[in-house]
Chains A and B, each alone.
Chain A
Amino acid sequence: MSLLEVTGLRTEIDTPQGRIRPVDGVSFSVDAGETLGVVGESGSGKTMTGMSIMRLLPPGGSIAAGSIRLDGHELTSLDEPAMRRLRGSELAMIFQDPMTSLNPVRTIGSQLREAYRIHVDGSRAAATARATEVLGLVGMPRPRERLDDYPHQLSGGMRQRVMIALGLMCEPKLLIADEPTTALDVSIQAQILTLIDDLKAQLSMGVLLITHDMGVIAEYADRVAVMYGGQVVEQSGVRELFEAPRHRYTEALLAAMPTLELDRNAELATIPGSPPKLTDLVPGCRFAPRCAFAQDDCRRTDPALTGGGHLHACFHPADDSGSTMAVKASRTFAKEPRGADALVQLFDVHKRFKVRSKRPFAAKRAVQAVSGVTLTIAAGETLGIVGESGCGKTTLGRMLVGLERPTNGSVSFDGRDLSAQTRTGFRKRRRDLQMMFQDSAAALDPRMTVAALIAEPLVAQGVGTRRERRRAVRELLAAVGLPLEAAERYPHEFSGGQRQRIAMARALALRPKVIVADEPVSALDVSVQAQILNLMRSLQERYGQTYVVISHDLSLLKYLADRIGVMYLGRLVELGAGEDVYNAPRHPYTAGLIEAIPAPESAKNRAAATRSTGLGGELPSAIDPPSGCHFRTRCPLATERCAAEIPVLQPSEGLHAVACHHPLTTQVLTPAR
């Protein structure tokens, strides 16, 4: 008998728009000591499934049908007080954002003690002892002292550990983790997921891992259920899923992800359209509107799960016959051979931000956001800048488009120093350096129509007559794949992917030579990401601009970028051709980063016990960074020289540039990959 058995679960919520069913007939099981991954995009119902098990439904929500059995006991028939007794004791759930999930005005200790004393009638001392014990279990350094801290005093990774500790206080049987690492940096992500994995084995828990990230599933789940439109469309062991997906959606999803093996010049397979809205569901298979293999029977009847060990709900599943949805083979991008002319030059660029101390007479403190970056960007290339939070990549991007001025060093475009320009000269230069912002909703003035937004750069620069501008807007809309009617609508009426297209059109309006794209796809669903990435490539093919893509996602850049630069705490620590940096990283940080990225490939050759945790430790403070090489506090290869001397970014041994005293020539950090 499984630990958790969900059968035919159906959850309904009464909303102002009507009654919706975010969970519509979901069945799966989880055993003790096993991790079931539930993967899906927005609107798939994965989060609501987890909440339904905990019975933490929003107002107006209820479980309409189905059964949930924990250790044989039926949960749906329990009344609320009984359910409450289970929550936090036998069932535990952790959420995405640890900052907002902890009460900011209470200490960690008080919250941990509360979690214990709700269920166990113990003294305060007993609760404190247990809290200390559990904090130690989750790998928190100096647990006893942490109890008196407030949440905002801890880093993101530590806060998530506290969340896990809160869930473990009463030794639960089942842990539901809803996007536990999405808000964290990549290196911390690996630590947390490994921690959950270890705890699962230690405590013989069952783990329900809910995520949108296929890589996470591949690496940390034993079995997986794929959800789409409120239903489970495929369920199997992880390996089988990745090797031979059956449902067309799964197949398309896997094809849309830029993987290691993908040819850089190939177009990404995309899934047209976007995930269905729960308010207007069609009869028949919910994926049919987007499926290249849909036929009449798909549109008439809702397929049920079949297939024994590898369940799938599809009338025309993928088999080994080779007819796939992958469009990729048919189209490659023809890239102009990269010219050697330097278009943008950054020379020893520094950026310091003063930290405002509220004390009137305190010593002035500053954050060195960027230190000593020297870089040349050639015309027509795509340069990727990767790094985690606080590494300075966004600041660097802002300096490229003139939103910030370097405190030292220079940014030159076409041979001319940007800071040395006159006001009008600088304004003219701006035509060639444009930006796509990270948050497209915030970057588009909600009061302006799309047409006005796209034309605004032209208007601001005084380019073209009214008629010419109108024509330009029409052209740009077509180029980014938006219908003409979009012009009269407002940004809030569009989806995330469509807003990115609007941002793209806007960035192109002045036909700039360089476009800086700050996290262009990180907020989008996987199936939509591919669309935008393909769009970026095809536009580059057509207009020939240079891209500087800033992202935390190294595998994305490996696909997209010609060259990749890795940043850590304000410094450029590695720079080279994308493939070189990815396949043969020279800086220990890069190697650790690559290892921390959960990748679908690992599903195929997983050696169970030999996964190393990649990068240990936490990101040091940006105000007071370690002397010498900033990375030395986390580097297994650090020596005394690393503390004394700042390494310089330079090529060596005939390989690409790296800033390290002991660069890697092979991947010494990864034993089994």
Chain B
Amino acid sequence: MSMRTACIAGAAALVVTAAACSSSSSNSSSNVSPTGSQLSSQPTQKTGGSITVLESNGYSGSWSTLDPAQNKEGAATQDYMTAIYGQLFELGTGGKIVPDLATGYSFSPDAKTVTITLRQGVKFTDGTPFNAQAVYTNWERDLGPIGIKNGLNPPFLIKELPAPKGSPPGTPEPPAPGAIQVTGPYTIVVHQSVPNGAFIDQLFDSIATWIASPTALAKDPTGFGQNPVGAGPFEVVSNVPNSQLVVKKNPGYWEAGHPLLDQITFKTVGGDEAAYEALLANEGQVYENMSTTDLINESASHFEVENNLGTSPYDLQLNTSIAPFNNPKARQAIYAATNFTPILQHLFGSRYPVTESFTGPGGICYEPTVPGYQGYDPTLAKKLIQETGLNKVTFQLGTISIQTAQNAMEALRTEWEAVGLHVTVQSWPLQGLIAAFEGKKWQSMVQTAGAYDPASGVGVGFRFNSQSPFSGVHDPKLDALLQNAAGSTSLATRCSYYDQAAEYIAKNYYGPFYFTFSPANISVHGVGGPGLSTPLASVAVVPTIPWEDVYYNPGS
């Protein structure tokens, strides 16, 4: 199989300067590392001080609970969760897997059994020892009734309890006894029922990587989500959901000399503009994931802009279970009716690379063009629209209420109406968006798909797997392809399956892809750390900043 190479030419963006080429190796699933730009001068490291991190209202700034098993907002709230809980493994600079609360892992030769070794001598902030039993308690909750009820149970490919009679196929159930075993005080073993070499990658940003103190959970199961206790670099001082979270240094943190900061305040702001104003007024030092092109350009003259390479392309999800997109020709019409080049050029300043699959330049198995992908063809579009009667119905196009997504949606609507389609648009903040998906009546949605490793929880399966509540596709063949892609520990094999999956999606017109959005993280001068002053690949959409390594040195 061919090696995968990805070369990124500098776009018209002002700040990205480095052209990075990368190559993959075939013996591990995550040490590919296309990198973004590095700031020309790194601020000098300093211990102590505090910063305010601004979070956007429609996405990361919305949270209701910090209990991993109940946190529906999931990866969007990764900033808070990793600050409080740390992670088992972190995705580090250069795509390396960095041990955090876990020190190592090993796969059985058939890639079914994973053994994870945990760090010794770690304590939660309430004194409870961190060990395999604590991890087991958490995973029991995550995979059991609580996680299932919230639709969150991580897709561990393990044997589950038999479903009660009459449940629809694919109903999630708690793990069968023995599927997860504590084999020693600091070792835990997962017996997967199918080969899956992506298990560790799948842990990133999934609820299973955030381990809560079992004592605290037992003491106050309902209130825990407002007063979480973890073993991460910081502990909670005050928590006002959807508004402000203040955390301070965990004095007993396992890594000596870390965290570098004494305190972090996470503050919700209305959006890119509000964040920009707040940064200008020095009310915040960091803002992640700025998407408004004009404001990114403005920021470049006042602040440091770290352009990380993207891993999550924008895609248009089509709900194949209800009209009108249960008809493949209707879906093809959408493909043919979309010309994303002018949108990319005028709305996004051509900053981002076009892609036809669920992969991005920052992740593994990047494939920007897919054979058989239906491109822009207005004549064909009009013909198909007539044939399928798509011009006689009005369908809904939805997205998250962030300005950039809304603008993209508006631009699409305008293009489509020019070929005779009738579209109503709708946008929601994150919680409303989740509810819209759960309602199952959505017809089309502009979202992001893909992750650093497409097999991980918020990767492709999220949007294309028949089990996911956020997917519009229910196709066992695609499920099988994705499963095979995750099953191997050979990167080459995996990437070839992902290529096939992308082709299959294109052939069935399950949803067009647009471009890989790459998050720009803005910080004031003097802030340093991975993802802020040095590039970091995103697990999904935004990089997961390891807050223990962030520092703020205003003088430098």
Partners in one complex: no
